[in-house]
Every structure is written in structure tokens, then in C-alpha cells.
Structure 1
């Protein structure tokens, strides 16, 4: 069973986390099942960028981003070459290391 290592984020996950994930689920579903809350203002429908993560290791094992995801990612804060929307990235069989960016473009976050 692959693991998702979430790097420390000062507000969401200050200690970081190691989460067991099932292959075939989205990164956001696996991470949330492990107790780390990632924002998802569009309810995981690929209509915003609040679930943006940066895949530091293991990204080659994820499904390829489609055109809709790529178009949304262009609007993400802190976009990097290894950025993905966690609602669209599907866990395969390799461990992942992800970073949750410090900011999102969500101006109406319920958590702030």
C-alpha cells in the first residue's frame, strides 16, 4: 500500500504526516481520510484551485493531468512544474511526497 508523505504546513499540518493510501483513490481523498484537511471549494469537481498540491516525489506514478486540470492549474497560486490538483491526481502504487502551498486563491475560505 503506497504512502503519502505530507510535508509540514504551518497551519494545516504543522508536524507533517504519513498517510497510508489505497491505489485508485484521489490524493485529496487519501489525505483527508488520513486526517489532513485540504481545501476544496468546488467539492472536488476540478472547478477551482484550492486543492492545489506540489508533488515533490513520486509524481511519475500519478495519472497524467488532463486539459481541464492544466487549465485550472494556470490559475493556482505558487504554480510549479510538479503542481497538481489533488482532486484529480489518482494514487497509483508508489509513495508520494506532497507539499500543500502556503496560500490559495480562495477568498472565502470557511477555515479563516
Structure 2
């Protein structure tokens, strides 16, 4: 079973954590199941950029992003070559290391 290591994030996961993932799950689904509340304003429909993450290890094991995801990533804060939308990036057999950026462009965040 693959594992995802979420690097420390001061607001969402201060200590960092390594969790098990099911093949085919999105990075966001794994995060939410483990109480890492990554912003996701569009209900995982690839219509915003709030769930942007950076895959620091295991990036090449993910299916390539499609044009819609690439268009949304163009709007994300702090995009890097290994950036993905966590709602679209699905776990395969390889372990991942994921960084959740400190900021997102969520203009409709609830629970302020």
C-alpha cells in the first residue's frame, strides 16, 4: 500500500505526517481522511486552484495533468514544476512526499 508523507505546514499539519493511501485515491481525499483540511473550494471538480500542492517525491508516478488542470494551476499561488491540484493527482504504487503551500487563492473560504 503506498504512503503519502505530508511535509510540515504550520496551519494544516504542523508536525508533518505519513499516512497510507489506496491506489486510485486523490491526494486530497487522503489528506481529508487524515484530518488535513486542504482548501478545496470547487468540491474536487477541477474548477479552482485552492487545493494546489507540490509533489516533492514520486511526481513521475502520477498520471500527467490534463489541460483543464494545467489551466487551473496557472492561477495558483507559488506554482513549481512539480505542482499539481491535489483533487486531480491520483496515487499509484509509489510513495509520495507532498508539500502543501502556505497560501492559496481561496476567495470563498468558510470557517474563518
Structure 2 length-normalised TM:
0.96
Q: Which structure 2 residues correspond to residues 1-112 of structure 1 after superposition, within 5 A?
A: 1-112=1-112
Comparing 100-109 with 2-11, which one deviates more in the overlay? 100-109
C-alpha deviations, 1:38-93, integer Å up to 9, x for none? 11000000000000000000011111100000010000000000000001001000
RMSD: 0.8
For 2:32 and 2:93, locate their aligned partners in 1 and report how far apart those are by CA, in whole Å.
18
Contact 1:9–1:15 (CA<8 Å) still a contact in 2?
Answer: yes
For 2:33 and 2:10, locate their aligned partners in 1 and report how far apart those are by CA, in whole Å.
20
The alpha-carbon deviation at position 108 of structure 1 amounts to: 2.6
The alpha-carbon deviation at position 111 of structure 1 amounts to: 3.7
The alpha-carbon deviation at position 107 of structure 1 amounts to: 2.2
Contact 1:8–1:16 (CA<8 Å) still a contact in 2?
Answer: yes
For 1:17 and 1:32, locate their aligned partners in 2 and report how far apart those are by CA, in whole Å.
13
3-state SS of 1:31 partner: helix
The alpha-carbon deviation at position 109 of structure 1 amounts to: 1.3
| Matched residues, number | 112
For 1:110 and 1:104, locate their aligned partners in 2 and report how far apart those are by CA, in whole Å.
13
Structure 1 length-normalised TM:
0.96
